A = this chain, B = another copy of it.
Amino acid sequence: MKRYEQFADEIATLIREGVLGPGERIPSVRQASRHHGISPSTVFQAYYLLENRGLITARARSGYFVREHARRLLGEPRVTLQPNDPAEVEVSELVFSVLDSLQDDQTVPFGSAFPSPELFPLSRLATSMTRGLRELSPQQVVADMTTGHTDLCRQIALRYMLGGIQLPMEELVITNGAMEALNLALQCVTQPGDLVAVESPAFYASLQVLERLKLRAVEIPVHPREGVDLEVLAERLEALPIKACWFMSHLQNPLGASMSKERKQALYQLLKQHQVPMLEDDVYAELYFGSTPPTPVKAFDDEGLIIHCSSFSKCLAPGYRVGWVAGGRYAEAISRLKLMTTISPSVPAQAAIADYLQHGGYDRHLRKLRHALEAQQGSMLAAADRYFPAQTRITRPAGGYFLWVEFPEKIDSLRLFNMALDHGVSLAPGPIFSATQQFRHCVRLSYGHPWTQSSERGMETLGRLLALF
């Protein structure tokens, strides 16, 4: 990372932590240069970057100021969960009816699960595809189906190593995206009828998988910043024969919650004590806004209990369908199940990504992507501030591309969903994030697309519709 990027990150942290408040003036270029012992041009570059990231704004003749939207006018969601018994999951029909309605590309895509494909280096990836295919021998095309593309496996293991995790290559299974990884893993550690602890609210696709495999959900509440409630989890692990957990330990979908390192460690100890395996769904790992990558629970795993699943779909190569699982003690079972169900993800797609990781400038792309998402978050938060009712509560996650919005109780998000669609705006209604269809007055909004006039109008429309309740 360049010096000006470092400096920009320092200022960003001060803003995020509230040391520099909204509307407040930040040090002048001259002050900053003198104080930090860096050249004025470095400070300029840093401020320019922060402006692009939507964190500060320049006012003619008066310097740089922290942007107003950084003001947390809207409170933090409370996420209250009605206590409930382990539940049969029946959410799939509802989820599909929501997803089907998102197909229209004229709609403002606040309901979308994918960030805009324009944020990804698709043409650079195409170059990597050409190179990757050139270097792929005919024999490898067949052999890599069983073992995964060798260079790709090496590159992934290398990234674990940089994150402080020594991953034996045998533990790695390349899959058709993280979704296949999670599906395979859950099948390997459960039988129909088993109990699985899930977050509440949870990523709706995880609930669909439970439903499909006839598993019952034990909902564990998630704090909007601190993540899964460890006290409730401990109590449930004690009381119920839970066979597996499916959690996202940072940038949880939909809340954006990220557990602290200490809480992750405590979570692991709890799982170890009960010998319960955990699927760690870590697809947003690379989308953090701060300067240090988060540590997954997998880092504490000394018994192969954590099944760490991720992919390149949300951070590099949508549609390539390349993910992986570091399967711990379940790696062989997962690999065999993969061979029996889909055999292998596309080998050319693996070769393309392997080449890109080696030569494409992945870290540079990731920095750009994170800054874009952070700026888009700022714009959406500012718009929520302008158009949503004052009692609205909203998250402000340190990464990813989702906001969780808690409206006053009288708002029915399923009705809002239909009304908004009629007005050309999509959103993800709260009940699809719960096995027991709670969170009726909540929605998840995506800021994964570049902010445009139509995004702004979309938020305004939602505001107008909310006033009708």
Contacts and interface: CB of A to CB of B under 8 A. Distances in A.
Given A92-B340, A96-B336, A130-B126, A139 B105 contact: yes
Residue in A118, A120, A144, A347 whose Cβ sees the most chain B Cβ within 10 Å: A347
A320 interface: yes
Contact of A117 (B133, B141, B348): B141
A339 B340 CA distance: 18
A114 B346 CA distance: 16
Interface stretch (A2-10, A177-185, A194-202): A177-185
A345 B321 contact: yes
Interface in A279-322: 318-322
Interface string A320-355: 111000000000000011011111111111001000
A374 to B, nearest CB: 21
A51 B345 CA distance: 39
A122 to B, nearest CB: 6
Interface stretch (A67-75, A204-212, A438-446): A204-212
Interface residues of A, number: 55
Interface string A102-122: 010100000000101110101
B319 A144 contact: yes
Q: Which of A103, A183, A321, A341 has the most CB of B within 10 A?
A: A341
A142 interface: yes
A143 interface: yes
A372 to B, nearest CB: 14
Contacts of A341: 179-180, 183, 209, 212
Nearest to A211: B340
A457 B292 CA distance: 60
Interface string A402-441: 0000000000000000000000000000000000000000
A169 to B, nearest CB: 15
Contact of A348 (B99, B180, B346): B346
14 contacts: A96-B339, A99-B146, A142-B318, A145-B321, A177-B342, A180-B342, A183-B340, A183-B342, A192-B192, A212-B340, A320-B347, A320-B348, A321-B344, A346-B346
